[in-house]
Amino acid sequence: MKAQGSICVCGYVHSYALQTSQAQTQGPYRLFSTKDGHVISSSVHDFAQKFPEAESKILEWIHLGKLKYREILFNGFERLPDALTALYDGRNVGKIIVKSAFAANLQTMVVNV
């Protein structure tokens, strides 16, 4: 990283479960302490106007086999703690899905936290 440069940090959710000192020494933020760098935050919501176009393209790529995805499936609501652990321990390489009998008859279930 260039002195006083910028860096984009993406896919760092696994660090949420680390102790503060571990996150600072193992993650990309360690670069800032030695290079006086900075982060400019960004959110997926900044690109909300592009969601319909992106969804269309992504579905096309999946159907054409140009884009592949992986799922980790946990059966049963009682497996929710295991799914959460998988999110942070490095097993998460795609989507983590918890299949619940409660939601079996629903087409789509959206949970707002």
Please write down the HEC assignment for all residues of 13-55: HHHHHCCHHHHHHHCCCHHHHHHCCECCCCCHHHHHHHHHHHH
- Higher pLDDT pick, 49 / 109: 49
Mean pLDDT score across all residues of the chain: 76
- Residue 11: pLDDT over 80: no
Question: Considering the entire predicted model, what is its pTM?
Answer: 0.48
pLDDT of residue 106: 58
- Higher pLDDT pick, 74 / 39: 74
Residue 17 structure tokens:
């479960």
